[in-house]
């Protein structure tokens, strides 16, 4: 007879009776809705429950505490955790007893357990708009799931693991797919406890709910949770459980909205590198923005001492092996004042990189006479007005041809910089290449913010909702301004802020793709054309800057055509997952923190590249 968390036989019998009664109620509800269960109840199955059950989920293993006879056995199971994986002991009723067995190895996970009684579940009357939910069906689905995991700082899984288990009954995977593009927008994993270990309670659990931070559609997370709940109702499950960090207010609000309630189960994890922030206490760098925090976290992982100089502006000092370097986000003492001044003046940047053979668009500086502006517009067709100095897309207006619009844009740009540039408008996508130590570490297409209509809300309301999602996904760094540029872009498409956007209509609300003004980032590092990589490195060497973000306008990241736009001396290293931007930055600053084998490999690579 399998025992419960407290080693009590009577506890299993009681759970069996409770599960039987719950299953009877569920059968009545399913018959009312014309549903047929996929499995049948066979009475009290406690005798059949597997002992010491551990389930491999790819990112780590789930150790189901209710199948273990004592805490010591669970500790032994957790000690089998593999490198770069996160094992979790779940449904632990007496965590204090378990922790007493290995206080130096284990910690109590600061997460709540929530349960949805599937006999009381109420389906939504509204179908998803702009996307649909389906099962994982291909290797590309598995790769897309990993992309979303990495963007959410979750542990990726070998794609073959997903694919080999696509028909498994213990684990199921659902994805949300965009109706138009076919892009995977979100994912959720479910565990069938009956199939896994003959659970007498007929339970199920939800894991790895994740939505692409660049997704434009609302309600993706809710739709995935509902699809999983309905899947397990048909399979005869009594409840759906999940674990959520105690401070994840957005997720908790969603679960409580759907009817989940807190239950008194706990999770225990190992003290490993992945879990470090969960057991070391509150972060001392919480006031830093994401661009500074990603670097500070990587430094601390390597044992580099960090001193926060001014959190509000992103200044910190790193100390390691007798070397001290002051940084402001990705700008460090290794970037010279000359290189920084070149990047700060866009007209000079253009001349420097152009002389090195990098292709640049036509440009004039300080033009104010209407005739001069008219001649330049006639030559270029459409132009871009931008301040000579500035960052984060402030004061930039794109795609102008009318004199009155140009004059207004010049006035806006002058609020940022005294000198205003008029530049040839080049159609295409905005490509950012992060160059560190004269190597391209990451390449990403930056796309302007887009909202999708639902036929009910105004564009102003849709922008506000999209801004909330972008802020949540970027640590508060990305939002769509309701300013003159947004209104001009909407007017060009025939809309105003207070118009109701027709259902399923996609509308670009700004022409600039900067992250800070609501743009989204899409990694293309593995597919970017070598010509673009070479041009970015050439531009970085011309400026002689060790860390920079090179911006091109391209027809496609997979084609060699480009036009140089600007170089950023303090590129944001966050939001480029899965590329190791922070790791390569710390490598540059403190090469001795790298393993010897890696340093030797890099040295050989440098020697091979020398003429």
DSSP per position, 184-200: EEEEEEEEEHHHHH--T
Burial class (CB in 10 A: 0-12, 13-18, 19+), 351: middle
**Pair 97, 144 in one domain:** no
Token duo for residue 238 = 């009594």
Question: Strand, coil or helix: what is 270?
Answer: strand
Question: Shortest CA distance to 389 belongs to which of 363, 364, 411, 420?
Answer: 420
Q: In degrees rounded to 5, what are phi and psi of residue 430?
A: -90, 115
Q: In degrees rounded to 5, what are phi and psi of residue 564?
A: -70, 135
Q: Angle CA(260)–CA(266)–CA(267) in degrees, nearest 5? A: 110
Question: Strand, coil or helix: what is 216?
Answer: coil
**Pair 35, 150 in one domain:** no
* Residue that is written with structure tokens 């930039």 in the block: 396
Element housing 485 (H / E): helix 484-492
**Pair 122, 257 in one domain:** yes
CA distances for 33 relative to 1, 30, 239, 564, angstroms: 36, 5, 18, 60
Q: In degrees rounded to 5, what are phi and psi of residue 530?
A: -55, -30
CA distance 330 to 315: 10
* Residue that is written with structure tokens 């900067």 in the block: 514
What angle in degrees, to the nearest 10, is found between the helix axes of 9-32 and 220-234?
100
593-599 own/partner pairs: CB under 8 Å, 24+ apart: 593/302, 593/303, 593/304, 593/320, 593/321
**Pair 379, 402 in one domain:** yes
307 occurs within a structural domain: no
Q: How many CA atoms lie within 13 A of 237 on its CB side?
A: 29
- Residue 412's CATH number: 3.30.1490.20
131 occurs within a structural domain: yes
Structure confidence at residue 390 (pLDDT) = 74
Q: In degrees rounded to 5, what are phi and psi of residue 262?
A: -65, 140
Structure confidence at residue 45 (pLDDT) = 45
99 occurs within a structural domain: yes
| Strand duo 88-92 + 61-64: pairing | parallel
308 occurs within a structural domain: no
CA distance 150 to 144: 10
Of 425, 455, 471, the last residue of a domain is 425
Of 214, 235, 262, the last residue of a domain is 262
**Spans of the chain, pLDDT less than 70:** 1-47, 166-167, 281-286, 367-368, 392-393, 594-611
Whole-model pTM above 0.75? no
**Pair 92, 137 in one domain:** no
| Cβ proximity of 386 and 413 under 8 Å | yes
Strand 562-568: give its sheet, edge to edge.
520-523, 439-447, 429-436, 547-554, 562-568
Structure confidence at residue 44 (pLDDT) = 45
| Cβ proximity of 53 and 196 under 8 Å | yes
- Residue 233's CATH number: 3.40.630.30
| Strand duo 520-523 + 439-447: pairing | antiparallel
Structure confidence at residue 605 (pLDDT) = 61
Measure CA 214 to chain center: 8
CA distance 163 to 178: 21
**Pair 79, 146 in one domain:** no
Token duo for residue 188 = 């959720």
The DSSP output letter for 500 is: B
242 occurs within a structural domain: yes
Q: The domain containing residue 386 runs over which residues?
A: 363-425
What's the structural domain count of the chain? 3
Q: In degrees rounded to 5, what are phi and psi of residue 14?
A: -65, -40
335 occurs within a structural domain: no
Contacts of 385 (CB under 8 A, 6+ apart): 396, 397, 400, 406, 409, 410, 412, 413, 420, 421, 422, 423
568 occurs within a structural domain: no
536 occurs within a structural domain: no
| Cβ proximity of 71 and 94 under 8 Å | yes
Of 112, 129, 144, the last residue of a domain is 112
| Cβ proximity of 586 and 593 under 8 Å | yes
Element housing 597 (H / E): helix 596-609
**Pair 83, 23 in one domain:** yes
**Pair 142, 220 in one domain:** yes
**Pair 106, 204 in one domain:** no
CA distances for 387 relative to 48, 148, 306, 333, 409, angstroms: 72, 36, 35, 26, 10
CA distance 554 to 433: 12
CA distance 416 to 436: 28
**Pair 257, 134 in one domain:** yes
Q: In degrees rounded to 5, what are phi and psi of residue 416?
A: -100, -40
Burial class (CB in 10 A: 0-12, 13-18, 19+), 476: exposed
**Pair 205, 231 in one domain:** yes
| Cβ proximity of 91 and 64 under 8 Å | yes
**Pair 97, 158 in one domain:** no
């Amino acid at each position: 007879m399998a025992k419960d968390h407290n080693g009590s036989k009577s506890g299993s019998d009681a759970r069996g009776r409770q599960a039987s009664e719950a299953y009877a109620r569920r059968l009545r509800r399913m018959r009312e809705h014309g549903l047929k269960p996929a499995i049948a109840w066979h009475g009290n199955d406690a005798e059949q429950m597997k002992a010491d059950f551990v389930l491999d989920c790819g990112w780590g293993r789930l150790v189901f505490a209710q199948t273990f006879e004592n805490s010591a056995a669970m500790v032994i199971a957790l000690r089998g955790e593999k490198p770069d994986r996160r094992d979790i002991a779940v449904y632990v009723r007496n965590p204090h007893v378990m922790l007493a067995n290995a206080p130096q190895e284990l910690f109590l996970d600061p997460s709540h357990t929530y349960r949805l009684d599937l006999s009381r579940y109420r389906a939504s009357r509204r179908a998803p708009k702009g996307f649909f939910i389906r099962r994982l069906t291909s290797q590309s689905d598995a790769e897309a799931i990993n992309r979303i995991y990495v963007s959410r700082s979750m542990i990726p899984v070998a794609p073959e693991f997903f694919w080999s288990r696509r028909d498994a009954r213990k684990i199921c995977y659902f994805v949300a797919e965009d109706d138009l593009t076919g892009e995977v927008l979100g994912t959720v994993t479910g565990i069938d406890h009956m199939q896994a270990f003959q659970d007498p309670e007929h339970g199920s659990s939800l894991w790895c709910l994740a939505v692409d931070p660049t997704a434009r559609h609302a309600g993706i997370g809710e739709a995935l949770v509902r699809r999983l709940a309905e899947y397990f109702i048909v399979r005869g499950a009594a409840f759906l459980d999940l674990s959520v960090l105690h401070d994840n207010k957005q997720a908790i609000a969603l679960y409580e909205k759907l009817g989940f309630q807190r239950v008194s189960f706990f999770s225990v994890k190992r003290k490993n590198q992945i879990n470090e922030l969960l057991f070391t206490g509150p972060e001392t760098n919480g006031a830093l923005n994401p661009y500074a925090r990603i670097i500070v976290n990587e430094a601390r992982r390597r044992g580099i001492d960090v001193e926060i100089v001014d959190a509000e502006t992103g200044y910190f000092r790193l100390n390691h092996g007798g070397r001290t370097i002051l940084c402001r986000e990705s700008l460090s003492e290794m970037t010279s004042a000359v290189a920084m001044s070149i990047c700060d003046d866009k007209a000079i940047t253009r001349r420097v990189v152009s002389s090195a053979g990098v292709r640049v668009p036509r440009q004039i500086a300080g033009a104010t006479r209407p005739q001069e502006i008219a001649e330049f517009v006639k030559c270029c067709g459409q132009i871009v007005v931008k301040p000579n100095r500035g960052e984060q897309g402030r004061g930039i207006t794109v795609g102008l041809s009318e004199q009155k619009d140009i004059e207004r844009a010049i006035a806006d740009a002058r609020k940022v910089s005294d000198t205003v540039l008029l530049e040839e408008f080049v159609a295409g996508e905005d490509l950012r290449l992060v160059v560190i130590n004269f190597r391209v570490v990451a390449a990403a297409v930056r796309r302007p913010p887009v909202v999708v209509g639902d036929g009910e809300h105004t564009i102003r309301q849709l922008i506000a909702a999209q801004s909330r999602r972008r802020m949540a996904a970027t640590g508060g760094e990305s939002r769509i301004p309701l300013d003159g540029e947004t209104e001009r872009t909407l007017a060009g498409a025939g809309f105003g802020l207070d118009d109701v956007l027709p259902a399923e209509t996609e509308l670009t609300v700004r022409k600039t793709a900067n992250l800070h003004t609501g743009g989204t980032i899409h990694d293309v590092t593995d597919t970017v054309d070598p010509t673009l990589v070479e041009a970015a490195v050439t531009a970085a060497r011309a400026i002689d800057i060790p860390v920079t973000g090179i911006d091109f306008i391209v027809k496609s990241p997979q084609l060699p055509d480009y036009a140089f736009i600007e170089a950023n001396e303090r590129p944001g290293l966050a939001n480029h997952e899965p590329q190791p931007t922070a790791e390569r930055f710390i490598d540059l600053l403190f090469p001795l923190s790298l393993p010897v084998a890696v340093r030797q490999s890099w040295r050989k690579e440098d020697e091979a590249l020398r003429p």
